[in-house]
Amino acid sequence: MKSVTTAFQRDAQLRLVAGGSHWDVVVIGGGATGLGVALDAVSRGFSVLLLEQADFAQGTSSRSTKLVHGGVRYLAQGNLGLVREALRERGLLLRNAPHVAHSQTFVIPAYGRFARPYYALGLKLYDWLAGRLGLGSSRMLSAAQTRAYLGTNLRTAGLRGGVLYHDGQFDDARLALNLAQTCAAHGAAVLNYAAVRSLLKAANGQVQGVEFEDRETGQRHRALGSVVVNATGVFVDEVLRLDEPRQAPLVRPSQGVHLVLPRRFLPGSAALLIPRTSDGRVLFAVPWHGHVVLGTTDTPLPQASPEPRALPEEVDFILTTAARYLQAAPTRADVLSVFAGLRPLAATSSGAGATKNISRRHYLRVSASGLYTITGGKWTTFRQMGEVVLGRATALGKLPHRPSGSATLPIHGAPPVPHQSEAPGHLGVYGTDLPALQQLLADNPSWADPLDAAFAYLQGEVVWAARHEMARTVEDVLARRLRVLFLDARAAQRMAPRVAALLAQELGRPEAWQREQVASFTELAQGYLLP
């Protein structure tokens, strides 16, 4: 695999495109789905161009519950096929990207007389569906064991015990970046801040490429492709309307909100699963980067937006539900950051009902023009969605048949032996890039200083992000390369001036650019704070 230090720089990626080459596959969208398509395509040896209008995973794909899971609640719905597929993909991801995805222990506390055997039975089925890729056996716990796993803040009144099981956890934005790096290392051209403005069509009306704008320069480029894939998440309808202006909406956006709390609210080693909320869903409290992520909701929205905001009733719902299980209940004043993501649920029919009842399965559509649109699904099944798209394209004769290799393809940063070079603290997410980062810090000792006293993130990580991870803005760094915006929005605001100065030095930006970056990021981060 090529070194990211020479391959994954935006100028180098843009030069691959500027020549006007013809690509086997052109992917529109740099979130989970688009990256899954690109990954499967390069694993088959196809030439790939991926275009993202903003930053990689800037939308929903960086705003998940941070879980790689089969979906325990889908068991109750009887959707065993979906659970089996997702559990297989969970196992593959933890094997292919162990530096950003790992097994996490979960505990369901039981307060009713029959709750513990009921949950235990369902989770044994969950174990069985995982098969050889399982992460460990579930088991029943006593009340004392339940408190030991979840910590001293668990409500003990009426506690009869619990059930322990294992699932996957990951860093979503870091995985997205590593997927982009993997694709680039296998010959793909991967660009952020490259917005598709129109579809190119042949005389017979078939889509044969795209015209896109480099948002940093305003320059337009044309790229031809044998297969063009619309993988833009909640914005697939916008691309579909470039193909057919009267296209009916394909996606129903559903908002999921998460609150981030200090670790003291869940001080144990396990994550907490609240098995039934007032709206019939489940709620998670998950340890993540030294904090606790609490969520989520399922709120239908009339339209998608790049920066969705939590509704007051969603925040109240999460806090009220958590208060039933925690002795010291979190309040609005305890929330360090609140973020919302939009699920691209495939509205393939006009059926009524809550969005929580819409299947999380993906949906693939091939338009009369030959445009491939893939939507729905979830992070866990991103690779499988890519495999489905390339399988359809080869079946239709748009590409030669080649077997997929994405199921066994190591993701950039993965050590040759899982956990062989596991680093302490937050630096573990760099995987095999860590020695090069450490060398950069050694060569420039001032860069080894932290950005803020409250966090371990280092100034040199900003330089690394600019040089080797295609970070272009303060938001790119503090939201997705480092995860500070999602962990503590006020701390992110404090870090913004120093991050802007480091980026300006690396990218050759003027002082005015620094001021604009700090102002725009400060305003953005204000939306991650509760009023």
3-state secondary structure at position 139 = strand
The string of pLDDT tens digits covering residues 119-161 is 999 999 999 999 999 999 999 999 999 999 999 999 999 999 9
Place of tokens 């958590």: 322
Token pair belonging to 478: 């503090």
What percentage of the chain has pLDDT greater than the value 90? 87
Question: Average pLDDT of the chain?
Answer: 93
CATH number of 4-60+173-250+356-408: 3.50.50.60
Confidence of residue 419 (pLDDT cuts 50, 70, 90): low
Place of tokens 């057919």: 244
CA-based torsion, 453, 414, 55, 62: positive or negative = negative
On the question of pLDDT at 7 being above 90, the answer is: no
Token pair belonging to 228: 């063009």
Task: Pick the more confident residue, 377 or 5.
Answer: 377
Helix axis angle, 115-130 relative to 80-96, nearest 10°? 60
Stretch 223-245: mean pLDDT, rounded? Answer: 97
Predicted pLDDT at 313: 97
Token pair belonging to 483: 């995860």
Rounded to whole angstroms, how far apart are CA atoms 413 and 416?
9
Stretch 339-344: mean pLDDT, rounded? Answer: 95
Predicted pLDDT at 350: 43
3-state secondary structure at position 418 = coil
CATH 3.30.9.10 placement within the chain: 102-168+254-341
Q: Beta-carbon neighbour count of residue 157 at 10 Å?
A: 6
The secondary structure of residue 477, as a DSSP letter, is I
Peptide bond into 296 cis (omega under 30): yes
Helix axis angle, 511-526 relative to 489-507, nearest 10°? 160
On the question of pLDDT at 242 being above 90, the answer is: yes
Predicted pLDDT at 5: 39
Q: Beta-carbon neighbour count of residue 153 at 10 Å?
A: 20
On the question of pLDDT at 352 being above 80, the answer is: no
CA 35 to chain centre: 11
From 17, 71, 31, 24, select the one nearest 48 (Cα to Cα).
24
Amino acid in position 163: V
CATH 3.50.50.60 placement within the chain: 4-60+173-250+356-408
Q: Measuring CA to CA, how many Å separate 279 from each of 41, 296, 314?
A: 40, 11, 11
The string of pLDDT tens digits covering residues 42-101 is 999 999 999 999 999 999 999 999 999 998 888 877 889 999 999 999 999 999 999 999
CATH 1.10.8.870 placement within the chain: 425-526
Stretch 402-429: mean pLDDT, rounded? Answer: 84
Strands 372-376 and 362-366: antiparallel
Predicted pLDDT at 2: 37
Confidence of residue 418 (pLDDT cuts 50, 70, 90): low
Confidence of residue 357 (pLDDT cuts 50, 70, 90): very low
Amino acid in position 78: G
The string of pLDDT tens digits covering residues 157-203 is 999 999 999 999 999 999 999 999 999 999 999 999 999 999 999 99
On the question of pLDDT at 392 being above 90, the answer is: yes
Token pair belonging to 2: 């090529």
Confidence of residue 1 (pLDDT cuts 50, 70, 90): very low
On the question of pLDDT at 527 being above 80, the answer is: yes
Rounded to whole angstroms, how far apart are CA atoms 506 and 169?
33
Token pair belonging to 241: 């309307």
Q: Beta-carbon neighbour count of residue 462 at 10 Å?
A: 27
Q: Nearest 5°: phi and psi at 265?
A: -75, -15
The string of pLDDT tens digits covering residues 8-28 is 899 999 999 987 789 999 999
Contact 286, 293 (CB under 8 A): yes
Stretch 196-219: mean pLDDT, rounded? Answer: 97
Fold held by 102-168+254-341 = D-Amino Acid Oxidase; Chain A, domain 2 (3.30.9)
On the question of pLDDT at 358 being above 80, the answer is: no
Q: Lowest mean pLDDT: which of 48-62, 339-353, 461-475?
A: 339-353
Direct distance between the N- and C-terminal alpha carbons of the chain, in angstroms, rounded to an integer: 47
Q: Nearest 5°: phi and psi at 121?
A: -65, -45
From 31, 3, 80, select the one nearest 374 (Cα to Cα).
31
Predicted pLDDT at 391: 98
On the question of pLDDT at 421 being above 90, the answer is: no
Confidence of residue 348 (pLDDT cuts 50, 70, 90): low
Stretch 208-235: mean pLDDT, rounded? Answer: 97
Strands (E), 60-126: 67-68, 101-110
The secondary structure of residue 186, as a DSSP letter, is T
Q: Lowest mean pLDDT: which of 2-6, 117-121, 151-155, 249-253?
A: 2-6
CATH architecture of 425-526: Orthogonal Bundle (1.10)
Confidence of residue 422 (pLDDT cuts 50, 70, 90): low
Predicted pLDDT at 215: 97
Rounded to whole angstroms, how far apart are CA atoms 336 and 456?
17
Rounded to whole angstroms, how far apart are CA atoms 12 and 4?
11
On the question of pLDDT at 3 being above 80, the answer is: no
Strands 22-28 and 48-51: parallel
